[in-house]
Structure 1
Amino acid sequence: MLKQLSNLVSGLITKDDVLGRWGGEEFILYVNQALCAPQLAERIRMQVATHAFTQIPKLTLSLGVAKAQTYPSLDKALLAVDAVLYQAKDQGRNQVCVLSNDFQCRI
């Protein structure tokens, strides 16, 4: 399932972007040049939700989005995105939550 998820997401991001497993079921996507990362996150969420995985019938994602350049350190950026990820989970899962004021474009 992890390989399938990785292949699916890698088809949606550029070669300069990085997808990494952060925890048991948490992932980090570092998008290098995307001005509209919220839209990319929503596109990934929809692709995963509609994809037919071989091991499980259905998989959904909650995604938190924050702009790393807004924060003085990587640790602060990770804390910010973690907070909005938990917001997405608390609001029912299978959604994208964006840290406000980080992006000019919205989902």
Structure 2
Amino acid sequence: MELPIFDLITISNATDNFAINKKLGAGGFGFVYKGTLHGGQEIAVKRLSKNSRQGFNEFKNEVTLIAKLQHRNLVKLLGCCIQENEKMLIYEYMHNKSLDSFIFGLNFDPCY
């Protein structure tokens, strides 16, 4: 399975060196940052925490699984970055939308 590999410098530049104002969220895996590639494409970068116990083989398996799960209703995995003890997944950036809005329409209210 062919999946583009991004280099660390490209991702670091796209996220302004993982600036705090580029942080979109966090979870047990680490942080997610918004970035913009040189050509203007907006991306979301899931950066695995250095404290994570996930090794290279586990990360590789996760990347392979996510790449196989590509679907029009899921955010697209664009590639990954594995360099200098960094493990990152690079996704397309979705502007203030959720999967629910794509499946059920823009006026979907999950409270009902």
Same fold (TM over 0.5): no
**Structure with the largest fraction of helix:** 1
TM-score range, shorter chain: 0.3 to 0.5
**Structure with the largest fraction of strand:** 2
Query: Greater Rg, structure 1 or structure 2?
Result: 2
TM-score, length of structure 2 as denominator length: 0.32
